[in-house]
Amino acid sequence: MALHNARETTADPAADVFTSPISEKPLPKRAMPEFPAPPHVVHQLLRNELLLDGNAAQNLATFCTTWTDDQVRDLMDLCLDKNIVDKDEYPQTAEIEARCVNILASLWHAPVGSDDAEPAVGCSTTGSSEAAMLCGLALKWRWRDRRRAASRPADRPNLVCGPVQVCWEKFARYFDVELRQVPVEPGATGLQAHQLRQYVDENTIGVVAILGVTYTCTYEPVAEIAAELDRLQAETGLDVPLHIDAASGGFIAPFLHPDLVWDFRLPRVASINASGHKYGMAPLGVGWALWRDKAALPDDLVFHVDYLGGDMPTLALNFSRPGGQVVAQYFMFLRLGREGYRRVHQACADTAQHLGRQVAGMGPFTLLYDGTGALPAASWTLTDPASTGWSLYDLSDQLRMRGWQVPSYPLPPDRQETVIQRALVRHGVDRDEIELLAQDMRRAIKHLTEGRPHSARVGFHH
Ligand SMILES: Cc1ncc(COP(=O)(O)O)c(C=O)c1O
């Protein structure tokens, strides 16, 4: 019957998307409809519904790519049917993945990967979370091997870290590892080297340092943390590997802070994860996990799958996954090169610093991060929350009325009394947009302070 209607709709010159039978009722929400509907009608109805999602370009909460070249869209379309796990069927996509791993190994100064004799060790993932799980597992496996070799118990592993993103909490819970989160000291924004000794012991599988703390966007002092672990080894014999969660910073530091030593240049660094879909500028759905060398990745975590006539080494939590994101990542590497990445990120950093200056001048705020020295972002808090009369949550709500998503949230548990706001500047967020945001912030502050109806005070006309 619906098929019949579909034909009629196409044949009827007066037919309209919004007079089609499926448009005239709420969409089915609990069970699949019995009959098909015209695709162009369903497409339009879903486009309408998706408008409620908000505008990704105004989402200053996300680190992830929200602006994409037309060529990337075309490549994504071309790769829609390529399953990256079928390396035998799509050997060129597999080859492109290996090239990306080599490029990142070189960017992050891995000692291997410059020739075929010692290839780079790494893989693509769905994002930093999966990469973190894989790198965490490698740490756990290596620690267990060391413990067994020494005839020591291997049943109480722990992982030491600062204010990590939730993916590390998931890793710890899913894979039965105690997460030892070191409290953030007053005035600090992440793990400090001198805090480590209290937390690291013979059951520590590794320490995670973050290049681009999710809360404040600053870098943890990776080289100092590595040096402290070196000293600890010299004094106690404990050899604790360091993993770098460079979800965002892995694609910023090599371009904006090339002299910062945070990567495989530090012998203590065993592995690094990063999100291609954040400052790597690939579309959503790609991350990277890299290890220093073969020794850092236990072979029994790698599966050799005999599939469709080929031997396929895989290291992943899932199996099938689209290949487009990896191809798009390679496109970005080729299209921008180092200079292009530097320019894009520098423009973002300049804009973030501009926002930081604007925010500092608004009156009620204290800047926590001004956009200099780490991620292109700014974060701030209310200088005197008790006497301001409104909260950062109120301000977020006001900004949301104009479509801006500027999140407010408390710092990690030990600093939860401090609520902060943070704005990330990414590829596609331009200077004028940030000017408009700053204008809207000033209006919203005036409104919250004076408590008059929003429309009367900001002069919005309909
Ligand atoms: C420091 C850090 N690690 C890991 C993640 C998780 O990354 P993904 O969203 O790519 O899984 C994030 C996400 O914001 C992050 O900021």
Q: What is the per-residue pLDDT across 63-97, written as a single tens digit (0 to 9) for each?
A: 999 999 999 999 999 999 999 988 888 999 999 99
If you compute the radius of gyration of the chain from its CA atoms, what whole number of angstroms results? 25
Region 332-355 average pLDDT: 98
Local confidence band at 452 (pLDDT 50, 70, 90 cut-offs):
low
Q: pLDDT confidence of 277, banded at 50, 70, 90? A: very high
Q: How far is the CA of 219 from the centre of ligand 1 (A)?
A: 14
Q: How far apart are CA 455 and CA 43, in angstroms?
A: 35
Q: Is the pLDDT of residue 278 over 70?
A: yes
User: How many CB atoms sit inside 10 A of residue 150's CB?
Assistant: 10
How many C-beta atoms lie closer than 10 Å to residue 376's C-beta? 28
Query: Is the confidence at residue 459, as pLDDT, over 80?
Result: no
From residue 319, how far is each of 303, 322, 363 by CA, in Å?
Answer: 11, 10, 52
In this structure, what token pair is assigned to residue 411?
């710092």
Q: Residue 114's pLDDT is what?
A: 85
Q: How far apart are CA 35 and CA 188, in angstroms?
A: 60
118 pLDDT more than 90:
no
Q: Is the pLDDT of residue 461 over 50?
A: no
Distance 127 CA to ligand 1 centre (A): 7
Q: Which residues pair with 306 in a beta bridge?
A: 311
Helix (H) or strand (E) holding 434: helix 431-450
Strand order in the sheet with 242-245: 121-125, 287-291, 269-275, 242-245, 204-210, 158-161, 178-181
d(CA 98, CA 92): 10
- Average pLDDT over every residue of 325-347: 98
Task: Give me the pLDDT at residue 307, please.
Answer: 61
Q: Which of 126, 129, 171 to mutate to test the pocket of ligand 1 (most atoms within 8 A of CB)?
A: 129
**CA 396/CA 156 separation, integer angstroms:** 42
Length of the chain: 462
Q: CB-hemisphere CA count at 13 Å for 59?
A: 12
Pocket of ligand 1 (CB under 6 A): 63, 127-129, 132, 165, 167, 210, 212, 214, 245, 247-248, 275, 287
Question: What share of the chain in percent tops pLDDT 70?
Answer: 94
Give me the residue label for tokens 């400052």: 279
**Cβ count near 31 (within 10 Å):** 6
Q: Assess whether pLDDT exceeds 80 at residue 306.
A: no
In the β-sheet with 377-382, what is the strand arrangement from edge to edge?
Answer: 365-369, 377-382, 419-424, 408-410
Mutation test residue for ligand 1: of 64, 124, 166, 167, the one with most atoms within 8 Å of CB: 167
Q: Under a CB-based contact definition with an 8 Å cutoff, are residues 193 and 143 in contact? A: no
What pLDDT does 412 receive? 82
Query: How much distance in Å is there from the Cα of 321 to the middle of ligand 1?
Result: 19
Portion of the chain with pLDDT greater than 90, in percent: 85
- pLDDT tens column, 281-291: 999 999 999 99
Name the DSSP class of 204.
Answer: E
Q: What are phi and psi of 363, to 5 degrees?
A: 115, -65
Spatial distance between the Cα atoms of 457 and 446, rounded to a whole number of angstroms? 8
Ligand 1 atom closest to the CA of 278, numbered from 1: 10
Could you tell me the distance, in angstroms and rounded to a whole number, from the CA of residue 375 to the centre of ligand 1? 13
pLDDT number for residue 411: 87
Counts of helices then strands in the chain (DSSP H, E): 13, 13
Task: Give the position of tokens 């000794």.
Answer: 197
* Coil/strand/helix, residue 443: helix
CA distances from 265 to 161, 201, 261, 316, 401 (A): 21, 25, 7, 26, 47
* Closest atom of ligand 1 to CA, residue 275: 10
For residue 358 the two structure tokens come to 């604007």
